[in-house]
Chains A and B, each alone.
Chain A
């Protein structure tokens, strides 16, 4: 299911969560023309933020994406504390909650490499273009090669 970007991002912002948009949606914010279906965020792992995330997502039945149904999975503060990166399916679409990303670290490490975006009547932080390229490179996934090429081209176009 494609994420309802226009509902998911305002939900997180209005709930006061601290996060940074990364991944394909961040690419779109920066000018990428590639379609993406999930929202990837790097979240602050402070206890209060974990509580906000758990409370906000609870009504949308967060569940481990691709896992067999019926597992005793509950996205609460202990689960978030004991885990790090969660690939979730929710009633608002697919959401990747990332405690850390390869090549970028956690929320506080990434924060200096972000800028504020205003969209869907809310404001949130998005990773900048050079850092997004760095993260994609560090992930080292063959499927990202085309995406990295596009982001590099974007960087050139912006500098023209």
Chain B
């Protein structure tokens, strides 16, 4: 029989907002694939940051 672990009520409250569909998709991947996804996502975020930096000086004019 599975026993329910004690969990902090604050954590329980945060858990309601966790998007489990993302977790389920990740769990279908191997650890290597998950890391490749992280690399790809962080490169995308870096591209966005660079684009943001290019736009910022224009706003000052």
Distance between Cα atoms of A11 and B24 in the complex (Å): 31
Q: Is there contact, CB below 8 Å, between A35 and B42? A: yes
Contact B14 A31 (CB under 8 A): no
Of A36, A37, A146, A150, which contacts B23 at CB under 8 A?
A150
Q: Count A/B pairs, Cβ under 8 Å.
A: 83
The distance from the CB of A144 to the nearest CB of chain B, in whole angstroms, is: 10
Give the secondary structure class of A's interface. Answer: helix
Given contacts A148-B11, A148-B14, A150-B18, contact A28 B23 (CB under 8 A): no
Given contacts A2-B45, A5-B42, A152-B7, contact A145 B35 (CB under 8 A): no
Which positions 2-43 of chain B face chain A at CB distance < 8 Å? 2, 7, 10-11, 14-15, 17-20, 22-24, 26-27, 29, 31-32, 34-39, 41-43
Q: Which residues of A contact B14 (CB under 8 A)?
A: 145-146, 148-149
Listed in ascending order, the chain A residues whose CB lies under 8 Å from chain B are 2-6, 25, 28-33, 35-37, 117-120, 126, 145-146, 148-150, 152-154, 157-159
Using a CB–CB distance below 8 Å, which chain B residues touch chain A?
2, 7, 10-11, 14-15, 17-20, 22-24, 26-27, 29, 31-32, 34-39, 41-43, 45-46
Given contact pairs A149-B17, A152-B15, a sample of 4 additional A-B residue pairs in the complex whose CB atoms are under 8 Å apart:
A35-B45, A146-B14, A149-B14, A157-B20
